[in-house]
Amino acid sequence: MIPETIGKRPFAERVSPNLLDYERARAEFSWDKAAQTLSGLPGGRGINIAHEAVDRHAQSPLATHRALRWIGKDGTRRDFTYSELRDLTNRFANVLQGLAVGAGARVFVLAGRIPELYVTVLGTLKNHSVSCPLFSAFGPEPIHTRLSIGEGEVLITTESLYGKKVAQLRDRLPQLKHVLLIGDRGARTAIPGTLDFRQLLDAASPVFEIAPTAAEDYALLHFTSGTTGKPKGAIHVHGAVIAHHVTGQLALDLHPEDIFWCTADPGWITGTSYGIISPLTNGVTSIVDEGDFDAERWYSVLREERVSVWYTAPTAVRMMMKGGAEAARRYEFPDLRFIASVGEPLNPQAVLWGVEAFGLPIHDNWWQTETGGIMIANYPAMDIKPGSMGRPLPGVEAAIVQKTKAGGVDVWTEPGMEGELALRAGWPSMFRGYLHDDERYRKCFADGWYLTGDLAKRDSDGYFWFVGRADDVIKSSGHLIGPFEVESALMEHPAVAEAGVIGKPDPMQFETVKAFVSLKQGFEASEPLRRELLGFARKRLGAAVAPKEIDFLASLPRTRSGKIMRRLLKARELGLPEGDTSTLEGGG
């Protein structure tokens, strides 16, 4: 039996939560006041994320405090204090200067969770260039698409990833001026058309002065996906750091003495906003584990690193649940005091499993690439309703709305109504555009509300409940995948006539990518062809995006206007009645 609510802070309290009284915090909150808790660039020269995250601490008693503890795949530990991080990020900003990479230029990094990734993101921000971290499990196609849309001028990557994924793309990336390679293969040989990251960094000065930075200056580019078309590059500005900072305090309850572990990869926005920026602005020690998920590994990281605040994802929690709470209870976690999760719906069972395994419930929160930071959350000092995403952050107004024919929205004031989740536009970390796609950006707003594309409900206590997506994007292991990107890759195979891609419900990953294809004349469905297509897609898209299953169909259902009806494919896959889906896109 799952209780309707879990009382606030039922467990030993060692630290008083930052947000003690939700109503009061809401009433008293203002973004202007929040901005005052940061220092700004010296001399009133604006606000820069990297200054707030690193430099101001490096000039304070925190200078010698551990900012990052990096754990390598093989268990090696490397620590970076705030002042060491300042010097390294200064060096990288100087490397960019030396290459004449200027303000606004897009600097991409494609790497696993290695220290260089953190140094380049922050150094890029210091240089006033725009940082774009890419997920290292992307295949060549998603990498190419993003570098092209983002007009990446610089790419920092490892020798291995370069050889496997990037070298083959160079002719198709005319705007890419510099590729900086991080050696990860032992013996070094010069690779034509690339520069040596380490050599440049070592030769650069550790002194750098951040130029004046306006709150509205572009800082970060994070790609996300829609139902149709290419991935969308969501632009975030330096002023977003106010939200990164405050949400870390209110929703993750960060305190200066915390050891914080965000398990997300910076290739996805959680890994940047909360894996890099928020812990550093809050002056805590941030754990970075290069290794992939492994339940035993994670329990021992939590234990050995004495993690006090842990931010993770539902898929990981479900995988741990599979191994049983006893596996966790073999360890002790005396320092752990707050657990939060984001990315997909967190099952009520998972909230409670936290209590069984760690003695702490798991606090769900909600946000998106476009929101830049946490928008709805379960706070330590508030009752949890298992299955609910919680309540809007102080400073954030959320509502359930329905679009009107006139292009505006109706706001549902009465609780219990299902509709689209909307946020009143104007919080600091709101995206400022989709790069080169103003029309798609404009379509996200109506009557002063940002429309999230999620369907949700609000109950009479003001808690929000996730219902589903309003579109066809796929969520797998917390990663958003655009069906169109997968369909396009499959269509490049000579045998494929049409492709339709859906998210198939999965007990672990929430959804997995499933493709339906019809074949061109002269090709016949067979097991070897299915395997060939799976391999073909995986090679192009990478493991993070490629379909796990492919079915052959004689033809795909389309609307009268020719669009593939993914919803009908999904209804058939799930054995749901087709009738209620046929109206969605105008009938077959």
Rounded CA separation 59/53 (Å): 12
How far is it, in rounded angstroms, from Cα 240 to Cα 322?
A: 37
CB half-sphere exposure, 378, CA atoms < 13 A: 27
CB of 305 or CB of 344, closer to ligand WT7: 344
Cβ nearer to ligand WT7, comparing 353 with 367 = 367
Q: What's the closest the beta carbon of residue 198 comes to ligand WT7, in angstroms?
A: 32
477 in contact with ligand WT7 (CB under 6 A): no
- Which one, 249 or 368, has the nearer CB to ligand WT7? 368
Work out how close the CB of 301 gets to ligand WT7 at its nearest, in angstroms, rounded to a whole number: 21
* Of 108, 223, 466, 536, the one binding ligand WT7 by CB under 6 A: 466
Question: 193 and 166 in contact (C-beta within 8 Å)?
Answer: no
Beta strands 130-134 and 178-182, pairing class? unpaired
Q: Does 510 bind ligand WT7 (CB under 6 A)?
A: no
Phi-psi region of 362 (alpha: psi -120 to 50; beta: other; left: phi over 0): beta
Residue 387 DSSP SS3: coil
Distance CA(167)–CA(18), nearest Å, equals 48
**Which residue, 206 or 453, is less far from ligand WT7 as judged by CB?**
453
454 or 585: CB nearest ligand WT7: 454
Q: How far is the CB of 473 from ligand WT7 (least distance, A)?
A: 8
Closest distance to ligand WT7 from the beta carbon of 453 (Å): 6
Applying CB under 6 A, the span of 268-276, 494-502, 511-519, 521-529 interacting with ligand WT7 comes to 268-276
Closest approach, Cβ 104 to ligand WT7, in A, equals: 24
Write down the least CB distance from residue 509 to ligand WT7, Å.
Answer: 13
- Number of residues engaging ligand WT7 in binding (CB under 6 A): 22
Q: Which residues, in sequence order, are bridge partners of residue 233?
A: 223
Strand, coil or helix: what is 550?
strand
Classify each residue of 283-295 as buried b or exposed e, where b means 16 or more C-beta atoms within 10 Å of its C-beta: bbbbbbbbeeeeb
Residue 324 backbone zone (phi > 0: left; psi -120 to 50: alpha; other: beta): left
Per the listing, tokens 């606090």 go with 363
What residues numbered 354-383 form the site for ligand WT7, per CB under 6 A?
364-369
Which residue carries 């200056």 as its tokens? 217
Residue 123 or 354 with smaller CB distance to ligand WT7:
354
CB nearer to ligand WT7: pick between 270 and 429: 270
Binding track over 298-337 against ligand WT7, x by CB under 6 A: ----------------------------------------
Which residue, 80 or 260, has its beta carbon nearer to ligand WT7? 260
Mask: binding to ligand WT7, 65-94, rule CB under 6 A, as x and -?
A: ------------------------------
CA distance 121 to 109: 8
Supply the minimum distance, in Å, between the C-beta of residue 404 and ligand WT7.
22
Nearer to ligand WT7, 386 or 557 (CB): 386
Sign for the CA dihedral angle at 309, 311, 316, 318 comes to positive
- CA angle (200 as vertex; 199, 202 as ends), nearest 5: 65
Q: How many residues does the chain have?
A: 588
Instruction: Please report how close the Cβ of residue 149 comes to ligand WT7 at its closest, in angstroms.
Output: 16
CB of 274 to ligand WT7, least distance (A): 9
What beta strand segments (E) does 83-160 contain?
106-110, 130-134, 154-158
- Does residue 48 interact with ligand WT7 by CB under 6 A? no
The residue from 116, 344, 487, 511 that contacts ligand WT7 (CB under 6 A) is 344
Binding ligand WT7 by CB under 6 A: which of 34, 149, 220, 269?
Answer: 269
Contact call for residue 345 and ligand WT7 (CB under 6 A): yes
Query: 3-state SS of 220-270?
Result: EEEEECCCCCCCEEEEEEHHHHHHHHHHHHHCCCCCCCCEEEECCCCCCHH
Closer by beta carbon to ligand WT7, 338 or else 367: 367
Kindly state the DSSP code that residue 164 receives in the 8-state scheme.
Answer: I
Which residues in 214-243 contact ligand WT7 (CB under 6 A)? 224
Kindly state the smallest distance separating residue 244's Cβ from ligand WT7, in Å.
12
Select the span of 28-36, 53-61, 343-351, 512-520 touching ligand WT7 (CB under 6 A).
343-351
- 144 or 475: whose CB is closer to ligand WT7? 475
∠ at Cα 101 (201, 81), nearest 5°? 35
Please report how close the Cβ of residue 397 comes to ligand WT7 at its closest, in angstroms.
17
Please give the angle made by the CA atoms of 515, 521 and 525, to the nearest 5 degrees: 45
Rounded to a whole number of angstroms, the minimum distance from the CB of residue 367 to ligand WT7 is 4
The DSSP line for 67-82 is EEEEE-TTS-EEEEEH
Instruction: Select from 46, 343, 380, 483 the one that contacts ligand WT7 (CB under 6 A).
Output: 343
The kind and range of the H/E element at 272 are: helix 269-272
HEC sequence for 193-227: CCEEHHHHHHHCCCCCCCCCECCCCEEEEEEECCC
The nearest distance, CB 409 to ligand WT7, in angstroms, is 17
DSSP 393: P
| Least Cβ distance, residue 449 to ligand WT7 (angstroms) | 15
Residue 429 near ligand WT7 by CB under 6 A: no
Cβ proximity to ligand WT7, 22 vs 366, nearer residue: 366
Q: What type of residue sits at position 50? A: A
Which residues in this chain contact ligand WT7 in the complex, by CB under 6 A? 224, 268-270, 342-345, 364-369, 389, 452-454, 466, 469, 475, 480
